[in-house]
Amino acid sequence: MAQTTFRIMAPATFPLSPAAPRRARLRAPIACQYCRGRKVRCDLNKRGSRCTNCELDDVHCKVANTRRRRSIVMSSTMSSRVGTNTVDMSSIQEPSVSPGHIVHSPADDNLALDMAPLLTSTNRDLEVQASPQPQVESSQEDHGTSPGMMEDVSPDTPNLGSLAMVPDLDPMPWNLPTFIRPISPDTSQSALNYLAAEGAFSLPEGKLRQALVDACFEFVTPYMPSLDRSELLGYIDVSVDHAPDKPCQKTIGILLFQAMLFAGSAFVDSDVLQCLDFPSQREARRSFYRRARLLYDFDVDTSFVEVLHALLLMSFWYEDPDDCKAAAYWIGAHVHHAQQFGVQEKALATHPGQGLYKRLWWSAYIRDALVSMGLRLQPRMRSPIPMLTPDDFPLRKAKGDCLTRRALDRATLSIRMAELCICVNQTMSEEESPHHPPPRNRTEMLDLRLDAWHRAYCSDSATPCSRELEYDASKGITVGRLLMIMTYYTVISTLHLPSISQSLVAPAPGSGRGPKTQKSYNKVQTAVYKVSVLADAVLKKGLISYMSTQGITCVLPTASILLLNLKSPTRHLHSQSAAWLRTCMRFLERLGERYSASEAVLGNLKAAVDKSKISLRQENVTPRSDSESPNVEDQEHLLWRRPA
C-alpha cells in the first residue's frame, strides 16, 4: 500500500522568514479634522502648518486634541530603553538641566502626539531639544501655536521620547497685569489657546484701561448698587501692570474685568476709543462684549460673586433682536446662579457680608425690572427682601470716619431706584392688553404707590427732584437722576395707557370720557410731556453721550403716544405733539450712534410716520410753557437753569 505524503506550505501572503518583512502602509501620526472626515491620508506631519488636502480645497486645517489617555511621567533622565512609553519611577532623579530645557530620547511617533497639548501650555522660555540622538541637549524657542495646531513640533524630529520638564513654570503665558487673578485650573489648555487667539485676554493699555473702568463705576452704579470700587478693586491702580515681584493685595477675575470694560465702553469719551483703534462705540461695545461672553462660556472664573456681577453687566447688551443671548438671557443666567449660590438666603442672614449680598440681590432686582420694562416681559424676581439702607453701603473713606457726599448721594440714588423698581415690577407683572385693561382698583393702588414715591423723592433732602442737573454733582449721579425720573413717568403712562387706549384720540379733550378715564388721560399726557421735556434738556446739556439703553425704554413709549396725538383734530395738541415728537426722534438718533437698538427703533418710528402720512415739518409753534402743561403740579423743567 502506497503511503501518501501531505506537504503543508505557508501562504505566500504571510512569509515566515524575517528577511522579507511585509510592507504595510502605516497610519499618519497626525491628521486634521477635514482629512478625518473624508477618511483620506493627511500629510500635516510633513508639511507642518497646512496639509495638502486643506490647501487644495482652501479650507481651515484644524487638529483636534488627542483622545489618548497615556500617563506621561516627567523626568530629567532619559530612559535606557528605546521604544517604550513607560518610565521606571525608581530611576527619577532631581533635574540636572537649566530651567526651561527639556531632555528627550527617541520613541514612537504616537507619544509625540500625546505631548502636543503639553508643549502648547509652556511659556516662551520653554525650549525643546531637536536632535534625535540621545544625551544631546539643544534649545529651540517655542513660539506658541494656534488652537489645535502643531507648529511647535518640528517635522525633522518626529520621534520624541520621555520628556523631562522643570516644574513651577508660568501657567499663564499671556501678558496680564498682576491684579488679574490666575485662570481656573479646570480650564483646558486648548480652551485657553482658543481664548488667547480670539483676544479674550487682551486688555487696553494703562490710562485707556483706567478710563474704561472709571466710566463703568461712574455711570453703571445707579442700576447696580453692588458695584463698588473699594470692594471689587480695593485701592489698585488699574493703569499700572505692577511688577511680578510685587503681587497685588487685591485681585479680580478676568471675566468681571472684561465685563466692566464692556459696560464702561458705552460711556467713555470717543478719543479713548480712537486710541484703542475702534471706529465707533458700537464696535467697541461689541468687541468687549464678545470677549466677556467667551470667557463666561469657557468657565474661566470660579468666583460666584464676580460671575454674578459679570452677568448683570452683560445684561446691558441688546443690539440684535434675533440674538438669543441678549439682556433677558443674562438676567435669567444670573437668577439661576444666584439661586444655586443662595444669594437671597445670605442677604437675609446676619453676618459681616450681609450688606454686599443685599446690594447684589437688589442689583438683580433693578436690572430685571428695567429689562422687563424695556422688552415688555414678565419679571423673574417678585419677592423682594428688606429694602436697602445706607448702612448696607461701604460709605466710609479709606482714611478717616467722615462720609463722602458723593458716595452718600450715589447710595441714596440706588435706594430710590430700588423703591421705584418695586412699582415697575408690580406694573409689569400684571400688565394687560388694551382689550383687557387691568382692574381699576389695581391701577389706583399702583398709582397711589407711585405718587407716594414721587412725593418722597421730591422731599428728600439728599436728592431732591430740583437737582436733576445740579452742577456740583458728578455726571453719573446727574444722568442717574434724569433716567430715574424719566422711568417714573414712563411707568405712569404704561400703567394708565390700557384704560384709555380706546379713547386716546377723541374729537375734543374730555369728550366721551368718564371722570376716571379723563384722570388717566391727563396723567398719560402729563407723563408724555415730562419725558419730552427731560429728553430735550438732555440734548441741550450734552448729556446724551452718557445715556444708557434705559433712555430708549423711556422715549419710545412717549414717541408712540405723541404719534397718536398727531391724529387729534385739536390744532394745539397736534402742533405741540409734532414739536415734541421731533425732539424724541433727535434723542433716538443720537443714541443710535452707540446702540443699534435705538437705530432700529428710530427706523420703525419713521416708517410709522410715513405710513400714516403725517407731516412733521417745522412750524412756527412755540413749545408751551410749563404753566400750560396739562395737570402739571411740579415744575421740574424750570430748574434746569443755573441757580443764582
Picking from 621, 594, 592, the residue whose alpha carbon sits closest to that of residue 604 is 592
d(CA 290, CA 259): 10
pLDDT in tens, 503-545: 665 444 545 667 888 888 899 999 999 999 999 999 998 999 9
CB atoms within 10 A of CB 398: 7
Q: Across 88-92, 154-158, 428-432, which has the greatest mean pLDDT?
A: 428-432
Which region among 231-240, 257-266, 387-396 has the lowest average model confidence (pLDDT)? 231-240
DSSP 496-525: HHHHHGGGSS-SSTTTT--HHHHHHHHHHH
Q: Residue 516's pLDDT is what?
A: 82
Structural contact between residues 376 and 490, judged by C-beta atoms closer than 8 angstroms: no
HSE-up (13 A, CA, CB side) for residue 553: 27
Percent of the chain with pLDDT over 90: 35
The cell for 341 is: 449660590
Q: What are phi and psi of 252, to 5 degrees?
A: -135, 145
Q: Residue 629's pLDDT is what?
A: 44
Q: What are phi and psi of 164, to 5 degrees?
A: -130, 125
| pLDDT for 412 beyond 80 | yes
pLDDT band at 42 (very low <50, low <70, confident <90, very high): confident
Q: Residue 97's pLDDT is what?
A: 35
The cell for 94 is: 532631581
Residues in contact with 381: Cβ distance below 8 Å, sequence separation at least 6, in sequence order: 335, 364, 365, 368, 369, 425
Structural contact between residues 179 and 251, judged by C-beta atoms closer than 8 angstroms: yes
- CA dist 436 to 446, 501, 520, 535, Å? 17, 11, 16, 31
- CA dist 336 to 16, 342, 355, 581, Å? 68, 10, 21, 40
| Residue 40 vs residue 158, higher pLDDT | 40
| pLDDT for 344 beyond 80 | yes
Amino acid residing at 490: T
Which of helix, strand or coil describes residue 455?
helix
Q: Is 549 exposed, middle or buried (0-12, 13-18, 19+ CB in 10 A)?
A: buried
pLDDT in tens, 190-224: 999 999 999 999 999 889 999 999 999 999 988 89
Structural contact between residues 295 and 258, judged by C-beta atoms closer than 8 angstroms: yes
Residues in contact with 72: Cβ distance below 8 Å, sequence separation at least 6, in sequence order: 111, 114, 115, 118, 162, 163
Q: What are phi and psi of 403, to 5 degrees?
A: -90, 140
| Residue 459 vs residue 587, higher pLDDT | 587
Residues in contact with 159: Cβ distance below 8 Å, sequence separation at least 6, in sequence order: 106, 107, 108, 109, 112, 132
Q: Residue 435's pLDDT is what?
A: 57
d(CA 396, CA 400): 8
pTM over 0.75: no
pLDDT band at 481 (very low <50, low <70, confident <90, very high): very high
